């Protein structure tokens, strides 16, 4: 089963690479939708450069992404049997429509190669963390209470800044489910997604991929914790209070006999070494360390090779008892791999059109609009390219070059409110939908395989994320960004 994932990646790469002239591929490491030339110091110049480099996709090419999004939302509800058996084919087919359009109509292979690289990095990180954390068994032998859940969620939110939202999610979701097994409800998992899989990781570049891209573009490593903690902390506390109120009404399991030792048991702790290797490998990038070789235009690097190696070794050397206790299998990562290969491909036109509009309208946008624009789009598109596109627009607004670390430094000191708004929007709003951030869908899949019924794509938003998160984000906007910039 797991062999199908690298095979799928291999097939996609061969289609892209064999259809292209590799020698013509650019070696500039940027996001689709951002010009491959050095970003001009004005919005007009940037748009002219973009017109020279790439023809914009037709607006109707956003349709494959919309169709895939709708099928992800409606499939499990209205045609469950078909979706369960054929979602990989649907995802690959819709992705192939976009790929063929770019090859045959736009003759733009660079965007496809770059997206392939992003997808491989995405799967390498999620896959390696999924296997390494799945080889660690954490048993909290305590009676589930609202206070205990609050503590676990807060620890997860803090830990997300150390091993990333994906690492913290994969490490804690199973023990969180087990400790609540006699009173488990969907809302508990949803708040886990809110706090651990998304909002928690807003304080360091390790926490969430968009912040790491900001770090690569010149933002100081400690800038985020220095400038975002005053938004992060009250948001975390507010959501924990809301969770505590809701969880206090859950009376299931209250009359169960108290047969708990109060101990916390950890098995497979040797796999923490694998997590550290993954964490260190994140920084093994030619943009961070000059001695690291680049394999461009081949969309894989030393970092991904290390992560896939860790994925293999962690599983091969895992304790069978730990895997059994965690009910470990590859279905969750398989589901994410298939769905997101279609998502990554079909969202290329949407991201490029958004990048164009962001650059055109950059001078008209204030910090509050950057917050909402980056945020809402990050809830449904990959938040990393969304972040970089709006960061580019914000820098263009002040005549800065996104590829200049010195000018990024100027932005973070003289116009910090813009970088702050874009960073908060990209990370916080990832919790808005199941596809807003990679760990969201994986947490959902692990939870469902544990027997917990999770809300559908639409129900997640209508019942939870919109009524809980949007008012929270509105308060953030009013307090920190209304009228700013």
For residues 111 and 352, is the Cβ–Cβ distance under 8 A?
yes
Report pTM.
Answer: 0.79
d(CA 118, CA 384): 10
Task: Give the containing element (helix H, strand E) for 414.
Answer: helix 405-414
pLDDT at position 286 over 70:
yes
pLDDT of residue 36: 33
Residue pair 129/162 in contact (Cβ under 8 Å)? The answer is: no
Give CA–CA dist 394/397, Å, rounded.
Answer: 5
Backbone φ and ψ for 264, nearest 5 degrees, come out as: -115, 120
Helix runs in 143-259, H state only:
146-179, 186-195, 209-216, 223-248
Q: Is the pLDDT of residue 381 over 60?
A: yes
Residue 6 confidence (pLDDT) above 80: no
Q: Find all residues with CB under 8 Å of 343, minimum gap 6, and list them.
A: 65, 68, 91, 382, 435
pLDDT at residue 350, rounded to an integer:
85
Instruction: Please choose, from the candidates 409, 459, 469, the residue with its C-alpha nearest in 3D space to the C-alpha of residue 434.
Output: 459
- Which residues are 138's β-sheet partners? 266
Mean pLDDT is highest, among 6-20, 165-179, 324-338, 459-473, for 459-473
Average pLDDT over residues 358-383: 83
Written as six digits, the tokens of 111 are 């965007």
CA–CA separation, 334 and 207 (whole Å): 23
Could you tell me if 160 and 200 are in contact, meaning their C-beta atoms sit under 8 angstroms apart? Answer: yes
Predicted pLDDT at 54: 62
Q: In the block, which residue shows the tokens 């702790």?
A: 269
Non-local CB neighbours of 455 within 8 Å, separated by 6+ positions: 186, 190, 463, 464
Closest to 204 (Cα-Cα) out of 241, 145, 159, 147: 159
Structure tokens of 482?
Answer: 């209304």
The DSSP 8-state label assigned to residue 330 in this structure reads S
- pLDDT tens digits, 224-276: 999 999 999 999 999 999 999 999 998 876 666 667 777 888 888 888 899 99
Read off the pLDDT band of 118 (50, 70, 90). confident
What is the Cα–Cα distance from 305 to 295, expressed in whole angstroms? 11
Note the pLDDT of residue 201. 94
Over residues 10-19, the mean pLDDT reads 37
Q: What is the pLDDT of residue 405?
A: 67
Using the predicted structure, report yes or no on whether residue 52 has a pLDDT greater than 50: no
Give pLDDT, residue 20: 37
- pLDDT at residue 366 above 80? yes
CA angle, 373 then 219 then 38, to 5°: 75
Stretch 421-436: mean pLDDT: 94
Q: At what angle do helices 272-281 and 146-179 cross, to 10 degrees?
A: 100
- Considering the chain, what is the average pLDDT of its residues? 83
Q: What is the pLDDT of residue 232?
A: 97
**How crowded is residue 98: how many other Cβ atoms within 10 Å of its Cβ?**
27
Q: What's the pLDDT band for 4 if we cut at 50, 70, 90? A: very low
- CA 107 to mean position of chain CA atoms: 29
- Pick the more confident residue, 302 or 361: 302
Angle at alpha carbon of residue 427, lines to 450 and 446, rounded to 5°? 10
Structure tokens at 253: 């399991």
Buried b (16+ CB within 10 A) or exposed e, 420-454: bbbbbbbbbbbbbbbbbbbbbbbbbbbbbebebeb
* pLDDT confidence band for 166 (50 / 70 / 90): confident
């Amino acid at each position: 089963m797991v062999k199908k994932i690298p095979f799928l990646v291999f097939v996609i790469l061969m289609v892209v690479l064999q259809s292209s002239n590799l020698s013509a591929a650019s070696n500039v490491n940027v996001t689709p939708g951002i010009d491959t030339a050095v970003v001009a110091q004005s919005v007009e110049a940037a748009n002219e450069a973009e017109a020279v480099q790439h023809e914009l996709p037709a607006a109707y090419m956003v349709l494959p992404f919309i169709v895939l999004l709708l099928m992800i939302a409606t499939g499990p509800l209205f045609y469950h049997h078909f979706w369960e058996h054929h979602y990989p084919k649907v995802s690959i087919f819709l992705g192939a429509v976009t790929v063929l359009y770019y090859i045959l109509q736009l003759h733009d292979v660079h965007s496809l190669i770059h997206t392939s690289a992003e997808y491989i990095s995405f799967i390498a990180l999620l896959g390696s963390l999924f296997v390494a954390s799945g080889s660690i068994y954490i048993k909290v032998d305590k009676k589930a209470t609202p206070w205990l859940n609050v503590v676990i969620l807060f620890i997860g939110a803090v830990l997300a800044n150390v091993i990333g939202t994906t690492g913290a999610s994969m490490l804690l979701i199973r023990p969180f489910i087990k400790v609540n097994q006699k009173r488990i409800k969907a809302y508990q998992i949803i708040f886990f997604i809110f706090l651990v899989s998304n909002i928690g990781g807003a304080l360091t570049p390790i926490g969430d991929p968009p912040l790491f891209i900001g770090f690569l573009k010149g933002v100081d490593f400690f800038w985020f914790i220095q400038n975002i903690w005053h938004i992060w902390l009250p948001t975390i506390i507010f959501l924990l209070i809301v969770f505590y109120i809701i969880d206090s009404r859950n009376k299931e399991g209250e009359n169960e006999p108290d047969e708990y030792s109060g101990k916390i048991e950890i098995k497979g702790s040797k796999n923490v070494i694998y997590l550290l290797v993954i964490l260190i490998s994140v920084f093994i990038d030619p943009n961070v360390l000059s001695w690291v070789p680049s394999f461009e235009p081949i969309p894989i690097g030393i970092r991904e090779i290390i992560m896939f190696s860790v994925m293999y070794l962690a599983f091969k050397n895992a304790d069978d008892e730990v895997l059994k206790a965690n009910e470990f299998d590859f279905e969750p990562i398989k589901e994410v791999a298939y769905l997101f290969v279609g998502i990554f491909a079909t969202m290329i036109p949407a991201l490029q059109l958004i990048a164009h509009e962001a650059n055109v309208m950059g001078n008209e946008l204030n910090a509050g609009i950057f917050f909402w624009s980056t945020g809402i789009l990050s809830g449904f598109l990959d938040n990393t390219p969304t972040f970089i596109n709006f960061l580019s627009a914000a820098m263009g607004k002040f005549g800065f070059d996104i590829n200049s670390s010195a000018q990024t430094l100027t932005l973070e000191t003289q116009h910090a409110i813009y970088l702050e708004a874009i960073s908060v929007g990209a990370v916080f709003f990832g919790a808005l939908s199941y596809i807003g951030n990679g760990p969201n869908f994986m947490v959902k899949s692990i939870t469902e395989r544990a027997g917990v019924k999770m809300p559908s794509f639409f129900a997640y938003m209508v019942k939870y994320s919109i009524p809980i998160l949007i008012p929270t984000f509105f308060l953030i906007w009013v307090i920190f960004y209304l009228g700013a910039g």
